[in-house]
Amino acid sequence: MPAKLVDTRKTTPGLRILEKYAVRVGGGYNHRYCLSDGVLIKDNHIKAAGGIKQAIGLVREKIPHTMKIEVETESIEQVLEALDAKADIIMLDNMGLDKMKEAVKIINGKAITEASGNVNADTIYDIASTGVDIISVGGLTHSVKAFDISMKIS
């Protein structure tokens, strides 16, 4: 299955609903609409909790059984810890292509894989070729250039 292209929560204030709608109309998918749509454990959360396993344990006690937990990882060691802690989604944040391929191979379908960071038109094909399930791109919403639709009368 090809990788899905998803947006992020990084949107223009007051325009989130329109920008996320535009992503869907354009063939992309939406990540979280708001913070309560899922859990994303980032580097600061991992440090504060004392590790990935501890962070997931603390969160899992407090959320509904239907909510997914995503963990941001930056190394193969963190990928292994996230797998051991049974993360639902493992984000491969700013990883090089070789490391990303290795991580996807290690995860081997035990969690959803998401590539994030430094994604643009020049890198997206190679990132998709690593086998990740999802590629998140904040630029789909926060860096869009307005289309000039003015009408000139002569």
Q: Known catalytic residue: 10?
A: yes
Handedness of CA 52, 55, 57, 63 (dihedral sign): negative
- DSSP annotation string for 90-145: EEEET--HHHHHHHHHHHTTSSEEEEESS--TTTHHHHHTTT-SEEE-THHHHTPP
CB 134 within 8 A of CB 113: yes
Catalytic residue among 10, 68, 99, 101: 10
Q: Which token pair is 82? A: 């996230």
Catalytic residue numbers read 10
